[in-house]
Amino acid sequence: MVRVLVVDDEALVRSGLTMILNAAADIEVVAATGGGQALAAVATHAPDVVLLDIRMPDVDGLTVLARLMELPDPPLVAMLTTFDADQYVSTALRSGASGFLVKDTDPDELAHQVRSLAAGAMALAPRVTATVISGYLHHRGEQRAATHAASLLSARERDILVLLSQGLSNADIGRRLHLSTGTVKDYVSAVLAKLDVSNRVQAALWAQRAGLLDGARA
């Protein structure tokens, strides 16, 4: 079971997301709270995934994200918004968010994204991909910097980077390259360290900027 914490300031949204996710046989919403109760809920319920509203009046979602990332073993966090061009996307990803979803995502797609996130893949709504790439990479540096970072990778690490950028989980990458999941996990950790990024979404954006995904097929 994938254990999920829903954090949103609107009770109706919390109820709706809880109902959608609990309808999946392999997902359990362990709690649904406002931003002010998020840290306590994480400590109590130890969720695998947190769906965190990026804009909340009581405690800003970016503030909650920063505090979650300070935990010794932080959960995976996907930011939620009603906007597909949110001005805070880049900040959230730089702060450690592992995904970005819009609230009107199709129910089946939402469950799929939660599973993907828990399995080690990216959770990035297609509608926000262009916004994320342009905004995040603009702040992170020019193409030359990304290309240099990618040049530090071995051939196998580049293969891993391309596949994770296509949204594959560690298990999927392992099957594609005939490697164990543990070995893939080690490679992914090495890739993140060499690129000096904190998660797979950031790594994928570097791969996009460096041109490693040009012509790549899933």
Q: How far apart are CA 123 and CA 89, in angstroms?
A: 13
CB-CB neighbours of 198 under 10 Å:
16
CB 51 within 8 A of CB 69: no
**What does the pLDDT profile of the chain (218 residues) look like in tens digits?**
999 999 999 999 999 999 999 999 999 999 999 999 999 999 999 999 999 998 888 788 999 999 999 998 899 999 888 765 556 777 787 788 888 888 888 888 889 889 988 887 777 665 655 555 555 555 555 556 666 777 788 999 999 999 988 878 888 899 999 999 999 999 999 998 888 887 787 788 778 777 777 655 44
Which residue, among 170, 165, 174, has the nearest Cα to 210 in the 3D structure? 165
- Contact assessment for residue 187 and residue 199, using Cβ atoms and an 8 Å cutoff: no
> What type of residue sits at position 74?
P
pTM of this structure: 0.71
CA distance 164 to 121: 7
Rounded distance, CA 21 to CA 28, Å?
7
